[in-house]
Amino acid sequence: MAVFTLHSKISIGNFKPFKGVHDISIKKSLGDYADTAILKLPLTARLKQAGSPQTQSVLTAHQFNVGDKVVIELGYNNKLEREFVGFIRRINMTTPLEIECEGYAYQLRAKKINKSWKETSLTEVLEYLIEGTDIVIAYTNEVKVEDLVFQDETAFSALGKIKDNMHINVWFDENKLYAGLKYSYYTARQKEAKPDVLYKIGHNTINANDIKRTLDKEEKKVTAIYKDKDGTEIRESYGTGLIEEEIKVDNIRNSGDLFHLAKNEVEKEKAKDWEGKIETFLVPFCKPGYKMRIEDARYPERTGNYIVESVDTRFGLGGGRRTVEISYEILTIDYIN
């Protein structure tokens, strides 16, 4: 019988990577552009100075600073995967010591914004927000943006306004920034791709009882609405259902862009036949945006290909676990394993 031993490797600032940790909690999601991690460490540590054989006992909290870079690697039998990269946001003087970390969105918190655009593109706005950081743009929809004003804000909160007011999804994969319609993005790129991760219910999963079929859905019609300063509305609709839904959009008045927003809302709901979460071990590795293949011999109707919405990873004295959330199903060909 194979023996799986948990291992971790944590790098903070300029210190040599260490393993001693009470608990780690990591949350990453396509729905939230701020990845987070919480580390719980012993209050004291043995510190060895370079070139000296002696060690000294020090308070752990005094060795780290807000803004220090953090890299967390986890796995079994020293086969580690990089689970999180970010920065210390807060140090809590608790027992054990608690260190709150945030992904690369943290670098946007200190950047003050006073900027306006009469006409521009989403790409140009994002390039301005990330200027001077280590963030790179991996993907953005070519959306036309008008009358956009950021006054006395941080780049972090400006990104939140893009997400909420323009109904544009914003997410990170380490330092890579994505901004667009995530359903359209992943459908186009993952439909014919081989799954990134395979879960066989009852074999390499712990609990899948939360995966449930969504309630019977009525076909719906969605209308994206931009309202001008003089009260004039630009409306673009998609869908033919009896149920009607309206989404109010700021700074996007281009008819084509509004139509794509409405279409994205309708199509992603059609693909949400199953929802819920599964609990798994650390292996296989999984992260948001992965194409996840679920195979269920007992309930074969749940077998299918899904996009991963979020992953919560826990690591500590009690073991290592992931909670993986379904975003929506991708209907495509079956794969022979």
Q: What is the mean pLDDT of residues 10-24?
A: 87
Higher pLDDT, 6 or 85: 85
Are 229 and 153 found together in one domain? Answer: no
Check residue 46 and give its pLDDT.
Answer: 62
On whether residue 49 sits in a domain, the answer given is yes
Check residue 337 and give its pLDDT.
Answer: 34
Are 126 and 153 found together in one domain? Answer: yes
> In this prediction, what percent of the chain has a pLDDT beyond 90?
71
On whether residue 186 sits in a domain, the answer given is no
The pTM score is: 0.91
Check residue 317 and give its pLDDT.
Answer: 82
Residue 147 — left, alpha, or beta (φ > 0 → left; ψ -120 to 50 → alpha)? left
List the CATH number of the domain containing 175. 3.55.50.30
On whether residue 126 sits in a domain, the answer given is yes
Separation CA 96–CA 106 (nearest Å): 24
Whether 9 has a pLDDT exceeding 90, the answer reads yes
Whether 305 has a pLDDT exceeding 90, the answer reads yes
Check residue 23 and give its pLDDT.
Answer: 94
Are 278 and 266 found together in one domain? Answer: no
Check residue 330 and give its pLDDT.
Answer: 87
Q: What is the total count of domains within the chain?
A: 4
Are 40 and 138 found together in one domain? Answer: no
Separation CA 266–CA 181 (nearest Å): 12
Q: What is the pLDDT of residues 178-220, one digit of tens each?
A: 999 999 899 888 888 899 999 999 999 999 999 998 876 778 8
On whether residue 337 sits in a domain, the answer given is no
Q: Supply the mean pLDDT for the chain.
A: 90
On whether residue 244 sits in a domain, the answer given is yes
Separation CA 279–CA 291 (nearest Å): 17
Q: Assign 3-class secondary structure to 87-120.
A: EEEEEECCCCEEEEEECHHHHHCCCEEEEEEEEE
> In this prediction, what percent of the chain has a pLDDT beyond 70?
93
Whether 255 has a pLDDT exceeding 90, the answer reads yes
Q: Provide the domain limits for residue 198.
A: 191-213+273-330
Q: What is the pLDDT of residues 46-102, one digit of tens each?
A: 665 655 565 666 777 788 899 999 999 999 998 999 999 999 999 998 888 899 999
Are 120 and 226 found together in one domain? Answer: no
Are 71 and 30 found together in one domain? Answer: yes
Are 172 and 197 found together in one domain? Answer: no
Q: What is the pLDDT of residues 108-163, one digit of tens each?
A: 999 999 999 999 999 999 999 999 999 999 999 889 999 999 999 999 999 999 99
Are 73 and 115 found together in one domain? Answer: no
Residue ending a domain, choose from 102, 123, 151: 102
